Amino acid sequence: MMTTFQPPERLLLGPGPTNVSPRVLEALSRPTIGHLDPEFLRMMDELRTLLQYVFRTRNPVTFVVSGPGTAGMEAAVVNLVEPGDKVVVCKNGYFGERLQAMVERCGGQVVPVEFPWGRAVDPQKVEDTLKAHPDTRVVACVHAETSTGALSDVKTLAQVAHRYGALILVDAVTSLGGVPVEVDAWDLDVVYSGSQKCLSCVPGLAPVTVNARAMEVIRRRRTPVQSWFMDITLLTAYWHGETRRAYHHTAPVNALYALHEALRLIQEEGLEAVWARHHRVYEMFRPAVEALGLAYLTPEEERVPHLNVLQVPEGVDEAVLRRRLLTDFGIEIGGGLGRLAGQVWRIGLMGVNAHPRPALYALYALEQVLKQR
């Protein structure tokens, strides 16, 4: 017989998941009800309102994909891209590569625009690419590149895309709730995120918002969306059915309770106050971590404030040090992804961990393990 699984106590300072508030965990464990229960549908309506609040949008098509951020990414891509469509993919890290892979798997013609890993996307280079490819349908980019900690200017990228008649598809997995993501003010067409980063909810849900311009493109598709599970026209019949809600799939009922509660926490504090808190903790963490001799991968003006991507010092076995943080201090931090494997550490101070206490404890633990090597 197996024993029950009791997770060890961890301070989650990797690139996500982050720790989850006890209030959210308690909401998660409330009794399951049916996904078509009138009370549940009412909760989903509230959830939409809360999502509109954090996305800063009035888009009626604002909902949750019943899967992790990666499913949100795939949902965005497969609904927007048809076989043969030209898609400019901005690649400044691992998740740009993943976007490219997904566009290719649905038959899109990728025009990659490459940037050094650790730098933001340069809108000028994207504009030059669009000039050379005026038949581009979509520009896809990552707002906060989780692999490098680089923050790109998606407001300007949206202007550039629209100037050339293309839609903008934005990955806001690591940015939503940590820094401004102004869906309406910046005129972003399709934006997806994840529940387990700055929203500090359990992993497994992907908030998505789609504006009228993108919905029009989706409605006029010549071919069906290749994924039945992720087809937005079917999903919205469940999330936003006007007369009755059409069954599509069984929603992850308990996880949606948790997201509702996590967003309520943000609403209580105020979204702008939450952004400011993430930034304050970064301002406190940065000089201290630099004083330990660690350097950021990304220039200061291009940084995601709540995801500190630091270069591993010469001669350090980074995996050994990460393991020591985990076993001796109960702290999880992230290693490098893809071509940055072994070269960087990723320290997230997101959601409930965007707070001086975990930041100070992380600095203390880092100092100890760096001293011991």
| Smallest separation (angstroms) from its own copies to the CB of 350 | 13
Nearest-10 Cα torsion for 210, 212, 213, 217? 80
Chain centroid, CA 276 distance in Å: 18
| Smallest separation (angstroms) from its own copies to the CB of 253 | 6
Check if the beta carbon of residue 130 is closer than 8 Å to that of residue 322: no
Closer residue to its own copies in complex, CB, 71/160? 71
| Smallest separation (angstroms) from its own copies to the CB of 163 | 30
Closer residue to its own copies in complex, CB, 97/189? 97
Closer residue to its own copies in complex, CB, 242/268? 268
| Smallest separation (angstroms) from its own copies to the CB of 358 | 14
Q: Which two tokens stand for residue 197?
A: 């980063």
| Rounded Cα distance, 179 and 168, in Å | 19
| Rounded Cα distance, 190 and 23, in Å | 30
| Rounded Cα distance, 115 and 234, in Å | 37
Check if the beta carbon of residue 353 is closer than 8 Å to that of residue 178: no
Closer residue to its own copies in complex, CB, 98/143? 98
Q: What's the length of the chain? A: 373
Closer residue to its own copies in complex, CB, 64/157? 64
Q: Which two tokens stand for residue 93?
A: 């890290």
Closer residue to its own copies in complex, CB, 50/154? 50
Sign of CA dihedral 303, 273, 282, 207: negative
| Smallest separation (angstroms) from its own copies to the CB of 222 | 14
User: Which ranges in 31-68 belong to alpha helices (H)?
Assistant: 38-55
Q: Give which of 122, 207, 108, 223 is closest to 167, Cα–Cα.
A: 108
| Smallest separation (angstroms) from its own copies to the CB of 36 | 8
